[in-house]
Amino acid sequence: MTDKQRNNDLELVEIHKVWGPAEMEVIKSMLNSHDIFCMTRGQVPQSILPMTTDGMGEIKILVPKKDADLAKKLIKDALDKNRS
């Protein structure tokens, strides 16, 4: 594996935003069940301020760049299924 390939594997990209820890955990679990590593990033730790006032409760879902397209599709399909 070249350094460029290794960096692409490690580069994280934002694929989705949620507004609470419950939705975050569902998405993380779904991605992990498809062997897609994910991390979350928020402005305020949810355990300290578990609310969504003025975007402070926003949580970003990040995955390796190489898995981004599949992860986005999985989330979209799950959301579409949930809405119907």
Q: Quick one: angle between helices 68-83 and 21-33, nearest 10?
A: 120
Would you place residue 10 in the very low, low, confident or very high pLDDT band (cuts 50, 70, 90)? confident
Sign of CA dihedral 37, 42, 46, 48: positive
pLDDT at 47 over 60: no
Rounded CA separation 75/36 (Å): 12
User: Which pLDDT score is estimated for 12?
Assistant: 96
pLDDT at 45 over 70: no
Looking at per-residue confidence, does 8 or 66 come out higher? 66
Write the CATH number of the domain with boundaries 3-83.
3.30.70.790
Rounded to two decimals, the pTM is 0.76
pLDDT at 19 over 90: no
Q: Where are the domains of the chain?
A: 3-83
